[in-house]
Amino acid sequence: MLGMVMNQKIAVFLICLAALAGSVRAWPSPGMVAPDFILDQSTTGPDSIRLYDLLGEVVYINFFGATCPICQSDGWLSEQIYDTFATDPNVNVLGLDVWDAPVFYLNGSFRTITGITYPLLHHARATGYAYDMENEPAPSPTDNEGRGHVVIDQQGVIQYYANFDFFDETNRDEIIALIRSLTDPCHGVPELPPPLNAAVSVDSVGVHLFWQPVPCATRYLIMRSLTGDFQDEIIADIVPGPPVFIMPTYDLAVYRVVAERIEFSQSGIKDKP
């Protein structure tokens, strides 16, 4: 009889442990599939945006509280991320208000203070909770969370996850660099190899150089040496492409083609409003 009671207690204990384990939430983190959501926009445009409809593209999400003073003061940094990729159809920037402020406030005061022009999605509290940007599934007078930034790749996998109080230029630059690496396979590549299958021909126009394009190259430097030992080498021209070069001269010379890649800079983004 005692053994039976003990077995029952053990069974009840195991059931309780199983129930507790089932209640543990798997918080999002880099490497995990991003939770899907469907939310309405605060302005004109499609009635709603679904995250999984954007598969195949990169998505950057700014989680904020519309009446959060810190969110208002650093919102312009997320707008700079949007400005950087505004012309790239494969990058989406979304803002999710997890404090469920009235739509008129999002379109009015919040946009005016932050200078944000990208789409803002309202009543995103449940989504914020799913992304662990909120401790409670419903708004409360003690709200003090709602700060975070997420980057999701083309396969719907989280590549960047940050839940914090402050967002600065360093965080902005990290996100910009990550998005560039996701959208541009050539971003950050090491030194490029020399062009292959180079050939030269001479006709009545001058000297013609041809070479095989180098992947990731954005331009080619044409180096010219009259002595052949490259001690007097100079840049004869810079060719963005196609891989052909014409030198209107018949001087005996040695030519060298160097492939280069010029990365885009972050210049041109708007200042703080």
Residue 188 has pLDDT above 70, yes or no: yes
Residue-wise pLDDT tens digits, 36-91: 999 999 875 568 999 999 999 999 999 999 988 899 999 999 999 999 999 999 99
Q: What is the chain's mean pLDDT, rounded?
A: 83
Integer CA distances (angstroms), 87 to 10, 83, 155, 170, 222, in order: 62, 8, 21, 23, 32
- For residue 136, name the pLDDT band (cuts at 50, 70, 90): confident
Domain 15-183 has CATH 3.90.650.10: no
Query: Is the backbone of residue 216 left (phi > 0), alpha (psi -120 to 50) or beta?
Result: left
The residue among 266, 79, 59 whose CA lies nearest residue 173 is: 266
What mean pLDDT is predicted for residues 97-110? 90
pLDDT of residue 21: 43
Handedness of CA 30, 88, 109, 126 (dihedral sign): negative
Residue 259 has pLDDT above 50, yes or no: yes
pLDDT of residue 203: 83
Residue 143 has pLDDT above 70, yes or no: no
List the alpha helices (DSSP H) in the chain. 2-23, 69-84, 103-105, 111-114, 125-130, 169-183
- For residue 212, name the pLDDT band (cuts at 50, 70, 90): very high
What mean pLDDT is predicted for residues 182-196? 86
Residue 133 has pLDDT above 70, yes or no: yes
- Whether the bond between 190 and the residue before it is cis, its omega within 30 degrees of 0, is no
pLDDT of residue 141: 61
The residue among 32, 58, 57 whose CA lies nearest residue 132 is: 32
- For residue 198, name the pLDDT band (cuts at 50, 70, 90): confident
Integer CA distances (angstroms), 66 to 16, 51, 63, 88, 124, in order: 40, 21, 10, 27, 11
**Who contacts 244 (Cβ-Cβ below 8 Å, separation ≥6)?**
208, 209, 210
Top-ranked range on mean pLDDT: pick from 47-51, 58-62, 142-146, 269-273: 58-62
pLDDT of residue 268: 45
pLDDT of residue 77: 96
Cα separation of 257 and 181, whole Å?
27
Domain edges within the chain: 15-183, 199-259
What mean pLDDT is predicted for residues 16-20? 42
What mean pLDDT is predicted for residues 177-182? 94
